[in-house]
A and B are shown apart, each in its own frame.
Chain A
Amino acid sequence: MSVAETFYDVIRRQGITRRSFTKFCSLTAASMGLGATGAANVANALETKPRVPVIWMHGLECTCCSESFIRSAHPLVKDVVLSMISLDYDDTIMAAAGHQADAILKETREKYKGQYILAVEGNPPLNEDGMFCIDGGRPFVEKLKEMAADASAIIAWGACASWGCVQAAKPNPTQATPIDKVITNKPIIKVPGCPPIAEVMTGVVTFITTFGRLPELDRQGRPQMFYSQRIHDKCYRRPHFDAGQFVEQWDDQNAREGKCLYKMGCKGPTTYNACSTVRWNNGVSFPIQSGHGCIGCSEDGFWDKGPFYERLSNINHFGVESNADKIGLTAAAVVGVGIAAHAAVTALGRVTVKHDDKAPPKA
């Protein structure tokens, strides 16, 4: 666990070939949008810079982020990034248990003071003095603050750590609170999604460990390279939205033909994530491809933005669908619908805000 060890040293020890390593560098560079010289930069950094230690902690959560992470696409990522991280500390997969595990945590913290990245899955509940999440006999929030104090930066994995997620849904019984509301004096990178896409997670970890700094973030603290695209804009069903061709029921004829899921409640038009380009389960598919709309799980507050099976907002708000339905019958007007639909998209950002007023009554 020497600080001077490089990423390349680690993977050589794992018996990974030079060829796989170069391939990994080009894939990673490509996924980060680093351009032609990117691969060489990544390779150079991985060979020469000391490996950045990562500590992975779990608060109030469901382990879906870890589950996503261990299935990333490139074998090298699985073998190496995984072992690289768990070399230090990870609750779910590490070898040690109990007091031994706590001792490793303390040791890592002291040894790499000010240098390590703290990756947090889940969030701290603050009600009842933190009683809703006790880890090693202490409220998780205390452990989090302690580990954050000596970290160089924090990765907030998933919707829980970034925004609160389902446990923060009304009435938020435990007062589950996102990391940036508890830790305010450290750089925090938010990697939202429930869970985030595996390749996005490994991309973020690799960028940080490669370059020793956080990637460029947007105003909400998310890495721009993965969260600057709207699902809707890169969706392969988008032409059907523009043409006003919509699925009306699961597995109806339009569904079989891959028409747009907007009327089934798809939140793609208001969601920023890489699902429609990177996709899930090693690029096999993503929710919209499975015939179900996007629920917007990477957006702040998605959990209280139901109903999930009704269109984002109905037509009367901005006047598209009745057009779309009518015009679906008249082929001549297709071009006009495309224009109207684009106008509608611009309006969506405002319209969705109204969802909260429409939330079902609470008992």
Chain B
Amino acid sequence: MTRLIVGPFNRVEGDLELTLDIAEGRVAQARVATTLYRGFEQILVGRLAADALTIAPRICGICSLSQSMAAAAALRGISGVQPPPNGVLAANIAHAAENIADHLTHFYLFFMPDFARASYAGEGWFAPVAARFTAVSGAAAQEVLPARARLLHVMGLIAGKWPHSLAIQPGGVTRALDLGEKMRLIAILSDFRAFLERSLFAAPLEQVAAIATPEQLADFSQGQGDFAAFLRVAESLRLETLGAVALPLISFGAYHSAQGALFPAGLFDPGASEARPLPIGAIGEDVAFSYMRDSAADPARSVTQPDADRENAYSWAKAPRLSGEPAETGAVARQAVAGDPLIRALIAQAGGTNVFVRVVARVIEIARLALAAEGWAREIRLKESFSEHGPAPLHGESIGMVEAARGALGHWLSVEKGVIQRYQIVAPTTWNFSPRDARGVPGPLEQALVGVDVGAAGAKAPVIQHVVRSFDPCMVCTAH
């Protein structure tokens, strides 16, 4: 048995360190450590409730709008204000733009460059993949960065600035779009569609969204485009066997409208045929292996007190559990809960999630969101209100629940006399990269790494990178 430390990780937001015990070339045991902590849950206490809209989104510069949405939802839960349809639509479009931008960054800049490593030089697919995806110098980045920047003009129009937008409020959005801006919004989304249909998919978005079976996906892999290139690499390296776990999949639901949520909240067990309602009250956080003092498990009751000297602790992240069990979250969970037939079929085939289905779910979601955003933009009624004015949140408790790109994000808020008494945040990567709990049960990534064949390469094995990155970690959110 040898012990390897993998870290620091690059092309990951924030700091991450893995400790791997290797026996006979395979990972026998893994520990995932989040190595940075800032203390938002401590900092927010004692401030005026509305100021959470300014402080809380700064947890993360990558998914700050999702953090804004969660903070606004938590405040809305207390004040009771209901945003008008325009406010919901505009927020949905901005949220979708951030989510898509995150997925694109992940696919092109964080995940695919690992297949351009020299260790794959012998593979038949290597030359074109390396030319396209090598970090920084690959051809794809030259197309993706401008397309992504152009998409994020949506943030300019709706949210003023991004990252750390301010326009998302409990009662809607602060910006009432005019006709010219609505037209620009539609034009931006249509330019973005052109990029997707040219570079990522080399096919119409509708065709991508209609892929319903693994066989149709296999047909798609014969086409042009970067997604097809990934599918061929995945088949050659059998990525569906890598980083496998069979945990409950959870989604907090996102993109609400009068017709309900585009991706509803729920719980999906691999092997089940239907999603179940999510038992929110069964969510708790365990700190047996975290640098934290013991407190209540329920985020609505717990108090965050760092303890750098805690015996056996190895991570600043807490360990979120659902009914005492770890759970996986992210695009794969969101699509499984929402009933995407392809994603459910791929999960059923493998008996759970893996590197392959995590990436497929993310890329397919880009197509679904781009289509939905076009519809939302057209639905905006310019003469109607974008924001409802409500009372200031004075007393009460609430949970702001949204889906960030990386999965379920919740803000547990308690307010008295208008002042924040408690603010607990459970972020997507807190679930996925959680440390062990008091029963010794490892978190999702810790489970996914067990059994991975690292061969002679040890800590340098690219497979480790694939497994870690398949979750699209955001370490700054994880321990906040």
Measured CB to CB, the residues of A under 8 A from B are: 58, 60-68, 70-71, 75, 78-79, 82-83, 86-87, 91-102, 125, 128, 131-137, 165-167, 169-174, 176, 194-195, 249-252, 255-256, 275, 279-282, 284-293, 295, 297, 303, 306-309, 360-363
Flag if B149 contacts A63 (CB, 8 Å): no
- The verdict on A292 contacting B55 (CB below 8 Å), with A137-B17, A195-B163 known, is no
Flag if A132 contacts B166 (CB, 8 Å): no
Q: Is B433 an interface residue (CB 8 A)?
A: no
- The chain A residue sitting closest to B43, CB to CB, is A169
Measured CB to CB, the residues of B under 8 A from A are: 5-15, 17, 35-40, 42-43, 45-48, 50-51, 53-55, 58-62, 64, 109, 113, 116, 134-137, 142, 145-146, 148-149, 152-153, 155-167, 169, 171-176, 291, 306, 308, 316, 385-387, 389, 419, 421, 459-460, 465, 476
Q: In the docked arrangement, what's the CA distance between A125 and B43, Å?
A: 15
Name 26 interchain pairs, CB-CB below 8 A, sorted by A.
Answer: A58-B14, A63-B14, A64-B163, A78-B146, A79-B145, A87-B136, A98-B10, A131-B291, A133-B15, A134-B35, A166-B55, A167-B39, A170-B46, A250-B171, A251-B172, A280-B156, A284-B156, A287-B165, A287-B167, A290-B175, A291-B175, A295-B54, A360-B419, A362-B46, A363-B419, A363-B421
Flag if A91 contacts B165 (CB, 8 Å): no
Flag if B162 contacts A170 (CB, 8 Å): no
Cβ contacts under 8 Å, B37 to chain A = 132-133, 174
Flag if A67 contacts B62 (CB, 8 Å): yes
Cβ contacts under 8 Å, B46 to chain A = 170, 360-363
Cross-chain contact of B387 among A92, A250, A306 (Cβ < 8 A): A250
- The verdict on A174 contacting B136 (CB below 8 Å), with A94-B11, A292-B160 known, is no
Flag if B153 contacts A281 (CB, 8 Å): yes
Flag if A94 contacts B64 (CB, 8 Å): no
Q: In the docked arrangement, what's the CA distance between A136 and B17, Å?
A: 8
Flag if B10 contacts A97 (CB, 8 Å): yes
Q: In the docked arrangement, what's the CA distance between A361 and B137, Å?
A: 52
Q: In the docked arrangement, what's the CA distance between A131 and B14, Å?
A: 15
Cross-chain contact of B7 among A75, A98, A128 (Cβ < 8 A): A98
- The verdict on A60 contacting B36 (CB below 8 Å), with A173-B43, A195-B164, A289-B160 known, is yes
Q: In the docked arrangement, what's the CA distance between A57 and B444, Å?
A: 29
Q: In the docked arrangement, what's the CA distance between A132 and B40, Å?
A: 13
Q: In the docked arrangement, what's the CA distance between A54 and B75, Å?
A: 43
- The chain A residue sitting closest to B54, CB to CB, is A308
Q: In the docked arrangement, what's the CA distance between A276 and B47, Å?
A: 29
Cross-chain contact of B54 among A91, A92, A93, A306 (Cβ < 8 A): A306
Q: In the docked arrangement, what's the CA distance between A68 and B149, Å?
A: 10
Cβ contacts under 8 Å, B51 to chain A = 306-309
- The chain A residue sitting closest to B37, CB to CB, is A132
